Amino acid sequence: MAVDLESLSEATSGALGSLLSTTILYPLDTCKTKYQVEVQDQGQRKYRNLSDVLWEAISNRQVLSLYQGLGTKNLQSFIAQFVYFYGYSYFKRLYLEKSGFKSIGTKANLILAAAAGACTAIVTQPLDTASSRMQTSAYGKSKGLWKTLTEGTLSDAFDGLGISLLLTSNPAIQFTVFDQLKQRLLKQKLKEADHDSSPVVLSAFAAFLVGAISKSVATILTYPAIRCKVMIQASDPDEDDDKTKRAQRKPRKTVSSVFCNIWKKEGIPGFFKGIEAQITKTVLSSALLLMIKEKISATAWVLILAIQRYLLLTRGKLKKA
């Protein structure tokens, strides 16, 4: 089966964009995760806003705690975006070939994006769970990737998979909105451009703005599920390496138990606690990702074609020899 070079180019540029944006914004991601995990009990709250998490790390001289799990998060992010962009691009091309249509409608786009998201969630769920546990562990007590993944059962590594599959609607909504806005902007630019000019592409600012808008829409619509997922995957602050306490570990978190806990202690507003932090982090991350992807996709395509040409020439020389 031949490799789909266009899909490979999309996947490579998307994965590299994700790697850079994740690294740049990781401290903000850690602060956001710790803020989301806290559940207000009887009016008592440790963190009143996102900046409290950052100030705690600075005042306790634990700034490095904001980078716990960075390697795992980068690995998860790189693989997730590669799988997602490859699947999304491949499914779109396959749909157009089979249907004979020249463009993809909104409904079909949502379904294709959700299918790509489901594949991504299944492949990367253990890494996603591990990175969340590392981020929420006490400073200096974060375990390595292998130990985090193997300290429980196989099902523990897939904590939150069900809700992750539900959240495939998030990137589906995001990239559908992004594609629709992008196409409108490109059509407008195409009308204004000369016929003999270079190919029309989004500017860095336009890609950033469109990415921010599309992610904001997706985040607002899916945020209650996002918070529940983070709480399910978070580490237990009472856990340590002691075998006795490990044997007395609290019951496994489920969607229903987390949902009820938020409802009882915080009410409806609790399902949207930290939405500002989530939007700030995800909008910046997604906007940076899409901006970087738009700018390096052409380079990635040229490199892939060059590598393919080199391999074909090498293969030809070997056959002649």
Q: Is the pLDDT of residue 247 over 50?
A: no
- How would CATH label the architecture of 5-191+201-235+253-313? Alpha/alpha barrel (1.50)
Lowest mean pLDDT among 26-35, 203-212, 266-275: 203-212
Average pLDDT over residues 180-185: 86
Gap between the Cα atoms of 161 and 166, Å rounded: 9
Among candidate residues 166, 181, 256, 165, the one with its CA nearest the CA of residue 215: 181
The reported pLDDT for the residue numbered 131 is: 85
Over the chain, what is the mean pLDDT? 78
Q: pLDDT grade, residue 16 (50/70/90)? A: confident
Collect contacts of 278-281 with beta carbons under 8 A, ≥24 apart: 278/32, 278/36, 278/219, 278/223, 278/226, 278/227, 279/215, 279/216, 279/219, 279/220, 280/28, 280/32, 280/50, 281/25, 281/28, 281/29, 281/32
Average pLDDT over residues 228-256: 65
Positive or negative: CA dihedral 62, 80, 237, 39: positive
| 228-242 as b/e: b if 16+ CB within 10 A | bbbbbbbbeeebeee
Tokens of 148: 């985090």
128 near 229, Cβ under 8 Å?
A: no
Instruction: Select the more confidently predicted residue: 195 or 313.
Output: 313
Please compute Rg for the chain using Cα positions. Answer: 22
Given the structure tokens 């195409």, which residue do they identify? 190
Cα 282 to chain centroid, rounded: 8
The reported pLDDT for the residue numbered 1 is: 43
Q: Is the pLDDT of residue 71 over 60?
A: yes
173 near 110, Cβ under 8 Å?
A: yes
The reported pLDDT for the residue numbered 42 is: 52
Q: pLDDT grade, residue 251 (50/70/90)? A: low
Q: pLDDT grade, residue 172 (50/70/90)? A: confident
Tokens of 149: 């993944």
The reported pLDDT for the residue numbered 178 is: 85
Residue-wise pLDDT for 260-289, tens only, equals: 888 888 888 888 888 888 888 877 776 777
Amino acid at 80: A
Q: Is the pLDDT of residue 229 over 80?
A: yes
Average pLDDT over residues 229-256: 64
The answer to pTM > 0.85 is no
The reported pLDDT for the residue numbered 5 is: 64
Q: Please give the DSSP secondary-structure letter assigned to residue 237.
A: T
**CB within 8 Å of 153: residues ≥ 6 apart:** none
Residue-wise pLDDT for 78-110, tens only, equals: 888 788 878 888 888 888 888 888 777 777 877
64 near 13, Cβ under 8 Å?
A: no
For the chain, the first-to-last Cα distance in angstroms comes to 26
Q: pLDDT grade, residue 140 (50/70/90)? A: low
Residue-wise pLDDT for 45-66, tens only, equals: 777 777 888 888 888 888 888 8
